């Protein structure tokens, strides 16, 4: 009887400890940034309509406290099961904080309302990176910010959509551009495709941290499209590039940051709190 009570208490504690947002900060360096400057990015992934506090105030306040230069929405912000209210509350609270960039996740496509979702996001001043890139200036740094659609575009919107072909057509020309380059891509399991290109940083979500983690370890139990004990469930990963890219002598490979996401309404999270990811990029002296 005592063992059962202890087991129940442990499970209850594990679940309750995974309902509040953890802010996770990654600091990176690059020789491509100007001296005495930095870029701060807030990465939001896999909200799935979750609402924190009254009117999303807990999440909004956490983002405001970071004072970001960029806000990245890395897919699955909107869900086919849960109301769009959580996304609307979030966007209304952060739309004037910093430029916001977005790529689709699979669940936005599952709604079968992808065009309406795009209009909704644009209403809140969100810039949609649909298989394209932009060159922007932040704190005296010119950078490239690129985004790709979720592959489920082929199932729900454009039957002949070929992500590999699109990436080659759009992003190959970046090889000889010596600027810091960021790719936003919802699905981390496609890293072998992404690292064929000259990106310095890739930002992803989709995995929900593996849902159940093992007492703080990096290992997760299950992730979509990877199955049990996924190789990429959340955190920071380093990869060598798949080929030599143009004349970029400063390029040392790619950093891949995978958010464990913010959803607490899809499946239980155990030892795996929802997270708000902050990425700070500084010059390398």
**Domains detected in the chain:** 2-283 (3.60.21)
For the chain, which residues score pLDDT lower than 70?
1-19, 215-217, 242-252
The pLDDT tens digits for 216-262 are 667 899 999 999 999 999 999 999 876 655 444 445 689 999 999 99
The pLDDT tens digits for 38-73 are 999 999 999 999 999 989 999 999 999 999 999 999
pLDDT value for 24: 97
Q: Pick from 121, 131, 205, 200: which is nearest to 162 by CA? A: 131
**pTM of the shown model:** 0.91
Write down the residue that tokens 């000889």 correspond to. 176
Q: Pick from 197, 221, 193: which is nearest to 209 by CA? A: 221
- CA dist 109 → 102, 150, 173 (Å): 14, 8, 29
**Tokens standing for residue 246:** 């143009």
- The burial class, CB within 10 Å (0-12 / 13-18 / 19+), for 100 is buried
Helix (H, G, I), strand (E, B) or coil at 176: helix
Q: 150, 103 in Cβ contact below 8 A?
A: yes
């Amino acid at each position: 009887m005592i063992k059962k009570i202890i087991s129940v208490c442990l499970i209850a504690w594990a679940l309750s400890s995974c309902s509040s947002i953890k802010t996770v900060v990654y600091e990176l360096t690059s020789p491509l940034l100007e001296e005495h400057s930095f870029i701060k990015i807030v990465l939001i992934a896999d909200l799935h309509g979750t609402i924190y506090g009254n009117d999303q105030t807990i999440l909004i306040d956490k983002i405001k406290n970071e004072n970001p230069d960029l806000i990245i929405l890395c897919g699955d912000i909107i869900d086919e099961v849960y109301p769009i209210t959580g996304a609307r509350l979030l966007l209304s609270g952060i739309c004037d904080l910093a430029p916001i960039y977005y790529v689709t996740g699979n669940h936005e496509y599952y709604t079968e309302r992808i065009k309406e979702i795009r209009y909704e996001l644009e209403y809140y001043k969100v810039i949609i990176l649909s298989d394209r890139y932009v060159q922007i200036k932040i704190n005296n740094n010119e950078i490239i910010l690129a985004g790709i659609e979720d592959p489920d575009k082929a199932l729900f919107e454009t039957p002949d959509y070929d992500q590999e072909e699109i990436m080659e057509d759009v992003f190959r020309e970046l090889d000889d551009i010596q600027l810091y380059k960021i790719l936003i891509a919802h699905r981390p399991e496609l890293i072998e495709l992404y690292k064929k290109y000259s990106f310095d940083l890739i930002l992803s979500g989709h995995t929900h941290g593996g849902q159940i983690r093992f007492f703080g370890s990096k290992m997760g139990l299950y992730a979509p499209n990877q199955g049990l004990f996924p190789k990429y469930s959340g955190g920071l990963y380093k990869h060598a590039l798949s080929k030599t890219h143009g004349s970029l002598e400063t390029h040392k490979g790619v950093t891949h940051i995978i958010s464990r996401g913010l959803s607490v309404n899809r499946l239980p999270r155990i030892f795996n709190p929802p997270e708000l990811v902050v990425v700070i990029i500084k010059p390398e002296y």
